[in-house]
A and B are shown apart, each in its own frame.
Chain A
Amino acid sequence: MTPPRLLPQRRLSAVVLAIALSSAACSSGDSAGGGPVTLRFWTWSLKGPDPTARAIVEQYHREHPDVTVKLSEVGGTPDTVAKLLAADRADDTPDVVQVEYRAVPALMVAGALRDITADVAGSKDGVDASTWAMTTINDQVYGVPQDTGPMMLTYRKDLFDAYGVTVPTTWAEYARAAEQIHAKDPDAYIASFDPTQFEFFAAHAAQAGAQWWSTDGTAWTVGIDSEASLATADFWQDLVRRGLVKVEQLLTPEWNAEVASGRILSWAAAAWAPSVIYSVAPDTAGKWASAPLPQWTPGRTAVPFLGGSAYLVPAKSRHATEAAAFAAWLGASDEGSKLLLGLDIYPAGKAGQQETLTHEPPKLMPQQKDFYQVADQVVENTTIPMTWGPNVAMASSAFEDPFSAAALNGTSFRDVYRTVQKAVVADLEKSGFTVHE
């Protein structure tokens, strides 16, 4: 059915109305005087058409009748960052913005974020200190955590069982499992190798003891070519060379089809992976399970977080106080973090995490009753802090292109890591940062 066409005069009045509304939004101006406020919220977790998301913002409106929250989805982290920087320079920013943790330093350095330390001081206890650390720079808080990514291996339990493969607990066992799977079914692979998953490789290196970025407060150290990091490159080079993982990007129609038909058997990611897999292969629900991520050293349990995002308040928000209060309510209050659980995300707030323990498992694995117990244990073990530099976006594109080429041509992964190291250091120095050799 096509929507009815607007008559010319109706169209005109719609335009007039839109102009009136937008000028009203502008003229509501500074929030100091109180009165009704509309917060513009850029987020992909709370989607406008989703009734659960709408219920959340309506709940906030009921508790704070003066504040209305307007949801818009502007894309994932890279798009959101680009649009926020453009909005900042145009002096017309939204009021609350969701981005992944890795983008926070770049936005802070660009001067696009408001320091909300004082605004969220009362919510400190709602979220774990190690999670707050991901939005804190120089003791100033720049965002309220929404969700975290406890790293897990999500795998096809039925096929692992059928092929007699035990769930790997170390990366060495993972490589053996990859051999077994490919031997049993030459069309099947333990996983796809996606050279564009920059953050995964950074986290994977962090698990091995490397920090791609670190700082002593005045200067940066870049560790992409440290020996621990290069060892992780060797690990993947070996699997790719032996053809035990399939070089292919995630979430392409190709990958989706292979996941749905049992030719890609696992995804090493985080607690949010089941809802992503469910969205592309709903028919395989009930055949999956999640386990803690394999380790480099047997018996160890430490992992970093992968993904997860925070709510930031742009420096030029016209309603910064209300915006920070809303962000703190949604991310760090007991009520807000429990509501977030309804969106199938793993909340950062302590109350939401507590709530998961009695929550139904994700739709992808209704039979795995202990899913959230496992996730909770992984969070306990998430003790490796990740520091992201101010040029993560540049680094990830400098990484993905040569890494893709190396994976396809079979050239040295180590050389790619060394090239990226040089490019990242050169970019920091060009921008004017001090870098330790």
Chain B
Amino acid sequence: MPATPRRRRLREAGAPWLFAAPAIVFFALFLVIPIGYAIYLSFRGFRIEGGGAFGRRLEAFVGLDNYRAALTDPEFLAGFGRVLVFGLISVPSVLVLALLFALLLDTPRVRGRGFARIAIFLPYAVPGVIASLMWGFLYLPSTSPLNYVAERLHAGPLDFFSTPVLYFSLANIALWSAVGFNMIIIYTALRAIPTSVYEAARLDGAGELQIALRIKIPLVAPALVLTGLFSVIGTLQLYNEPATVRPMTSTVSHSWSPLMEIYEEAFTNDNLGGAAAGSVVLAAGILVISLLLLRFLQRRTFGGNA
């Protein structure tokens, strides 16, 4: 029996929703609801009821107390300062190295391309915690082969954990995996450029260096914006490297990065409300910085009409 036009219209209108339903359900379950719950938690805290030295801690509405505490916590704010310094070192070096490797791999007649690509990408497969532990061993004077050599040359002992060297040491740990990952993104963008563009450039007398500087880099600019944005967000969310290295040195405090301070509030101080407020502040900060960065870069990358 043929369906009435009305019913068919309904079915057609419903079809997209039906297809999108699984995504919407999971989006709501694992993103919207947890974010809503975190915002709810950020207005709650534990307060003692019943008085006495051993009263019971009960959850209560505390208004904006948690936000006030997070925004006036000098350690939390100092954490932002520290990741800023870390980012000033790591983001440019990651982008420059990733771009350099991608351009080198994309040069014609390069040998061992497949091997080199895998070798540069491989550190990305090493989990951040494992990499931090291994670099930790390489940094500690008694276990470090670098230090062994330095002492033989009467240049040691090297202290990789003293400030400000610490920032470079941590950036170095993060660098390896980030370079590999970003190199692949930029390299993929390079492969997408039609070869006719290069042929035209060669006919006009451009060398490989000029092709790289005048054609390849401008054409992969969107990929550079993307990787740059990811690197900035990753920097603000810095956690693995300093947290793994912390037990090895006194120079990394519990609250070294904003995320470490949030973890500390949630799981050491049992202050879930404070941790939720800190997370909301961090997320808002990331959002604002990402939007500003995108606006600024888009205007430069894609001209004024973006």
B107 at the interface (CB under 8 A from A): no
In the assembled complex, how far is the CB of residue B189 from the closest CB belonging to chain A, in whole angstroms? Answer: 37
Residues of the A chain whose Cβ atoms lie less than 8 Å from the Cβ of B58: 111
Q: Which residue in chain A gives the minimum CB-CB distance to B52?
A: A218
> Among the listed B47, B137, B250, B268, which residue makes an inter-chain contact with A408, where contact means beta carbons less than 8 Å apart?
B250
Q: Are A111 and B56 in contact (CB under 8 A)?
A: yes
- Indicate whether A108 sits within 8 Å of B54 (C-beta atoms), given known contacts A394-B269, A401-B75: yes
How many angstroms between the C-alpha atoms of A138 and B51 in the bound complex?
13
B57 at the interface (CB under 8 A from A): yes
- Indicate whether A109 sits within 8 Å of B55 (C-beta atoms), given known contacts A257-B143, A393-B269: yes
> Among the listed A81, A82, A253, A397, which residue makes an inter-chain contact with B142, where contact means beta carbons less than 8 Å apart?
A253
Q: A248-B250, A257-B143, A397-B269 are in contact. List 11 more A-B contacts (CB 8 A).
A: A81-B270, A138-B54, A216-B53, A217-B52, A249-B247, A251-B247, A252-B247, A393-B268, A397-B268, A404-B250, A404-B253
Query: Within A231-262, which residues are at the interface with B (CB < 8 Å)?
Result: 247-249, 251-254, 257-258, 261
A-contact 0/1 string along B40-64, CB 8 Å cutoff: 0000001111011111111000000
Tell me the A residues contacting B by CB distance below 8 Å.
78, 81-82, 85, 105-106, 108-111, 137-138, 195-196, 215-220, 247-249, 251-254, 257-258, 261, 390-391, 393-394, 397, 400-401, 404-405, 407-408, 431-434
Q: Are B270 and A253 in contact (CB under 8 A)?
A: no
Chain B CB count within 10 A is highest, among A216, A393, A431, A432, for A432
Q: Are A196 and B250 in contact (CB under 8 A)?
A: yes
Total chain B interface residues with beta-carbon distance under 8 A: 33
Q: Are A400 and B254 in contact (CB under 8 A)?
A: yes
Residues of the B chain whose Cβ atoms lie less than 8 Å from the Cβ of A111: 56-58
Residues of the B chain whose Cβ atoms lie less than 8 Å from the Cβ of A397: 254-255, 264, 268-269
Q: Are A247 and B267 in contact (CB under 8 A)?
A: no
Question: Can you pick out 13 interface pairs between chain A and chain B where the beta carbons lie within 8 Å of each other?
Answer: A106-B270, A109-B48, A109-B57, A111-B56, A196-B250, A218-B52, A261-B142, A393-B268, A397-B254, A397-B255, A397-B264, A401-B254, A408-B251
Q: Are A82 and B268 in contact (CB under 8 A)?
A: yes
How many angstroms between the C-alpha atoms of A136 and B305 in the bound complex?
72
Tell me the B residues contacting A by CB distance below 8 Å.
46-49, 51-58, 75, 136-137, 140-143, 162, 247-251, 253-255, 264, 267-270
Q: Are A258 and B57 in contact (CB under 8 A)?
A: no
The SS class assigned to the B binding surface is: loop
Q: Which residue in chain B gives the minimum CB-CB distance to A108?
A: B54
How many angstroms between the C-alpha atoms of A254 and B248 in the bound complex?
8
In the assembled complex, how far is the CB of residue A294 from the closest CB belonging to chain B, in whole angstroms? Answer: 24
Residues of the A chain whose Cβ atoms lie less than 8 Å from the Cβ of B51: 218, 434
Residues of the A chain whose Cβ atoms lie less than 8 Å from the Cβ of B53: 215-220, 433-434
Residues of the B chain whose Cβ atoms lie less than 8 Å from the Cβ of A261: 142
How many angstroms between the C-alpha atoms of A385 and B51 in the bound complex?
24
- Indicate whether A249 sits within 8 Å of B270 (C-beta atoms), given known contacts A109-B48, A138-B54: no
Q: Are B249 and A249 in contact (CB under 8 A)?
A: yes
Residues of the B chain whose Cβ atoms lie less than 8 Å from the Cβ of A393: 268-270
Residues of the B chain whose Cβ atoms lie less than 8 Å from the Cβ of A78: 267-268
Q: Are A431 and B248 in contact (CB under 8 A)?
A: no
Residues of the A chain whose Cβ atoms lie less than 8 Å from the Cβ of B46: 110, 431
Q: Which residue in chain A gives the minimum CB-CB distance to B59?
A: A89
Q: Are B250 and A254 in contact (CB under 8 A)?
A: no
Residues of the B chain whose Cβ atoms lie less than 8 Å from the Cβ of A404: 250-251, 253
How many angstroms between the C-alpha atoms of A333 and B47 in the bound complex?
38
- Indicate whether A195 sits within 8 Å of B250 (C-beta atoms), given known contacts A253-B136, A432-B47: yes
Residues of the A chain whose Cβ atoms lie less than 8 Å from the Cβ of B47: 431-432
Q: Are A109 and B254 in contact (CB under 8 A)?
A: no
Q: Which residue in chain A gives the minimum CB-CB distance to B65?
A: A430
Residues of the B chain whose Cβ atoms lie less than 8 Å from the Cβ of A433: 48, 53, 55
Q: Which residue in chain B gives the minimum CB-CB distance to A82?
A: B267
- Indicate whether A401 sits within 8 Å of B253 (C-beta atoms), given known contacts A252-B140, A253-B136, A253-B140: yes
In the assembled complex, how far is the CB of residue B159 from the closest CB belonging to chain A, in whole angstroms? Answer: 11
Q: Are B48 and A254 in contact (CB under 8 A)?
A: no
In the assembled complex, how far is the CB of residue B54 from the closest CB belonging to chain A, in whole angstroms? Answer: 6
Q: What 3 A-B pairs are tightest by C-beta distance, nearest first?
A: A432-B48, A404-B250, A257-B142
In the assembled complex, how far is the CB of residue A221 from the closest CB belonging to chain B, in whole angstroms? Answer: 10
How many angstroms between the C-alpha atoms of A24 and B20 in the bound complex?
37
